[in-house]
Amino acid sequence: MDKFHIIGGQRLEGCVSISGAKNSALPCMAAGLLTPGTITLHNIPYVRDIITQRRLLEDLGATVLTPELRTHKISAPQIEVFEAPYELVKTMRASVLALGPLLARFGKAKVSLPGGCAIGTRPIDLHLAGFEQLGAEVKLESGNVVARAPETGRLRGASIEFEKVTVTGTENLMMAATLASGTTVLKNAACEPEIDDLASLLNKMGARVRGAGTPIIEIEGVKELGSAEHTIIPDRIETSTFIVAAAITNGELEIRDCQPAHLTSVVEKLREAGVEIFELNQSTLLARGSAKLRARDVTTEPYPRFPTDMQAQYMALMTQAEGRSAIAETVFENRFMHASEMQRMGGRIHIDGRNAVVEGPTRLTGAPVQASDLRASASLVLAGLVAEGETVIDRVYHIDRGYEKIETKLRSVGAQIERVRQSVTAPLPSPQILANAD
């Protein structure tokens, strides 16, 4: 398993460029299954989850061409296989996003039920209940979800109220409803910018989606969707992670190709904590750290509130802030795995169920630590950047799932970070191999 070796104490300074949003690219790629035409997606991040999604689409019978590293051309005129197998789904839960498009266009789908993961049980009961309301028959057979559209072969529009806000649940049902007969209304829908981005692609394909980005989304079904071209939004979580990197090293970073409007709650909270953040223009932020960070409480909630995907990184920052901060994680039931690793580095953190209390400022010292999930690994990189001595982070394959070449970007602004390859992990296929894979 690859490891990161980090020598802490370097002040970061310079410019970094943000990649496309993984959590928008994944559903947008799945939307390629909704049409016999071709969708062309630009600004696709070069991360492991995208490669898994590409593999899933190809296993289903779609073709995925990459004329350039960050452009994917997806065509699914024919689909022979309607199954997303356990082997793939267990490596990436977002594989369940194939369910809606397959069911809507072909009237059938079989997707392995994703088990739990490090951060929680993460059921998909709300997705399945929604498909049943669209008229599908949904059964669980030997660990698989087997879904069939009504005899007509077409789903039926319905009014669906989500018991809980769910991001991929909203995306799955929104995609399925685009080809249903009649109109679907999704209530208590998730409002993340990634949902708005997906809706924008679907509407370019000829769908009739209104209200995406608000809690009420209306989708008027159409008979068929066509080809389209779309550019994926910047990754707001990667952007926020780099703001914290500037803050925790008391550095100064110009963060380019980002979308400041998508991270209002994060910027507000970090400013409260003493981080200076300036919007230089619509796609560039300047983040400047401070020697005197202030402890501030935070509660994670669905967008537009403070994102759970920034909770771990925020905890790392709070170890360096003056005072006591309370962190409440309301979205996932088990998302403090990073805390015990930060405690190994000297962090004064107390966990009580879904609440954490951090005392600061604390002088962290480098140590061997282990990543447990994508955002936890990002928080350990941030802690390593400020810790004295060397931090060695194991299982960095987690970070490769959602951050494009983070060690290269960090090194370009002064961090002392190195990836040490261990033979067992196959490195990401090189861009040339990917391009020649067509």
Which residues here bind ligand EPZ, judged by CB under 6 A? Answer: 23, 26, 93-94, 120, 122-127, 164, 166-169, 190, 308-309, 331-332, 374-375, 402
Spatial neighbors of 127 by CB under 8 A, at least 6 apart, are: 96, 99, 100, 166, 168, 169, 172, 173
Task: Report the C-alpha gap between 129 and 16 in whole angstroms.
Answer: 42
Between 123 and 143, name the residue whose CB sits nearer to ligand EPZ: 123
Q: Which of 15, 28, 117, 191 is catalytic?
A: 117
Shortest distance, position 394 Cβ to ligand EPZ, whole Å: 19
Minimum CB–partner distance for residue 104 and ligand EPZ (Å): 18
Which tokens go with 174? 């929104």
Q: Whole-number minimum distance, CB 258 to ligand EPZ, in Å?
A: 16
3-state SS record for 65-127: EEEECCEEEEECCCCCCCEECHHHHCCCHHHHHHHHHHHHHHCEEEEECCCCECCECCCCHHH
Closer of 245 and 387 to ligand EPZ (Cβ): 245
Cβ neighbors of 344 (< 8 A, separation 6 or more) are 367, 369
Determine the Cα–Cα distance for residues 410 and 412; give it in Å rounded to an integer.
5
Minimum distance, C-beta of residue 299 to ligand EPZ, in the bound complex (Å): 14
Complex with ligand EPZ: residue 4 or 332, whichever CB lies closer: 332
Neighbours of 7 (CB within 10 A): 17
Is 117 assigned a catalytic role?
Answer: yes
> In angstroms, rounded to a whole number, what is the distance separating the alpha carbons of residues 350 and 348?
7
The residue among 252 and 333 lying less far from ligand EPZ, judged by its C-beta, is 333
How far apart, in whole angstroms, are the C-alpha atoms of residue 27 and residue 22? 9
Q: Please report how many Cα atoms fall inside a 13 Å half-sphere around the Cα of residue 319, on the Cβ side.
A: 33
Q: By the 8 A CB rule, do 243 and 266 touch?
A: yes
Based on CB atoms, which residue is closest to ligand EPZ, 310 or 345?
310
Nearer to ligand EPZ, 89 or 367 (CB): 89
Cβ-based neighbours of 129, under 8 Å, separated by 6 or more: none
**Where do we find the tokens 């920052």?**
317
Q: How many CB atoms lie within 10 A of CB 158?
A: 18
Tokens for 321, please give them: 């802030």
To ligand EPZ, the closest distance from the beta carbon of 93 in angstroms equals 6
Q: Which is nearer to ligand EPZ, 10 or 172 (CB)?
A: 172
Are 253 and 243 in contact by the 8 Å Cβ rule? The answer is: yes
Least distance in angstroms from the C-beta of 403 to ligand EPZ: 10
SS3 content of the chain, % helix, strand, coil (to 5): 35, 30, 40
Distance CA 291, CA 180 (A): 56
Minimum CB–partner distance for residue 362 and ligand EPZ (Å): 26
Catalytic residues: 117
